[in-house]
């Protein structure tokens, strides 16, 4: 885990690592595995968002997977497929790199304060809760989950809620 200079964490790094490990395990990630987690600010996320996604402005989380979605178990919205080699050969028992996640702690805190956090963009909770959600969300993306498909998106949100110990949300649009 890398915390950029000037970034203050609203919770201990061990809680973020636990959230990442729980999400990776629930998604069936190869174990032992390694995830790079970079905690940054809006400026870095705006630059990455423009470079990697072609979007202007900062975002809360970006995931950069190293393995194909086919390297992970099937889940709702993404049926089982052939499990081709992921191109990375590692010695037996070696840790497999899953990818990197970059999160704007600044954006997480602002969303929590403004009541625009959570899965539905209407959650007012602590910056620590928002950051745990973003870590969980980012890890699921590394593990082949994508909320663009409605069935897969609903299953992804349900898994996030279960991992974070959240109740079912009220009915409404999902961001």
Angle, alpha carbons 133-65-63 (nearest 5°): 35
In terms of pTM, does the model score above 0.75? yes
Quick one: pLDDT band at residue 84, thresholds 50, 70, 90? very low
Calpha distance 3→136 (Å, rounded): 17
CA distance 103 to 127: 12
Structural domains in the chain, CATH included, are 2-67+96-164 (3.40.390.30)
Query: Does residue 69 carry a pLDDT above 50?
Result: yes
Average pLDDT over residues 89-98: 75
Short-list 139, 157, 162, CA closest to 16: 139
Residues 6+ positions from 102 with CB-CB distance below 8 Å: 38, 40, 44, 45, 48, 61, 62, 64
Conformation bin of residue 86: beta by default, left when phi > 0, alpha when psi is -120 to 50: alpha
Q: Give the pLDDT confidence score for residue 91 in this predicted structure.
A: 65
Residue with the two structure tokens 């069935």: 151
pLDDT tens-digit readout, 27-67: 999 888 999 999 999 999 999 999 999 999 999 999 999 98
């Amino acid at each position: 885990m890398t915390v950029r200079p000037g970034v203050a964490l609203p919770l201990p790094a061990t809680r973020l690592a636990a959230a990442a490990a729980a999400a990776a395990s629930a998604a069936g990630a190869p174990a032992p595995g390694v995830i790079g987690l970079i905690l940054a600010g809006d400026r870095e996320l705006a630059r990455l968002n423009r470079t990697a996604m072609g979007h202007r402005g900062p975002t809360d989380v970006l995931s950069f997977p190293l393995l194909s979605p086919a390297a992970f178990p099937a889940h709702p919205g993404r049926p089982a497929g052939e499990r081709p080699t992921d191109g990375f050969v590692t010695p037996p028992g070696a840790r497999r790199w899953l990818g990197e996640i970059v999160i704007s702690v600044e954006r997480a805190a602002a969303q929590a304060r403004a009541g625009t956090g959570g899965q539905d963009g209407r959650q007012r909770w602590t910056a620590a809760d928002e950051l745990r959600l973003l870590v969980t969300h980012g890890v699921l993306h590394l593990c082949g989950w994508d909320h663009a498909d409605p069935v897969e998106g609903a299953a992804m949100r349900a898994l996030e809620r279960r991992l974070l110990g959240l109740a079912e949300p009220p009915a409404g649009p999902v961001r």
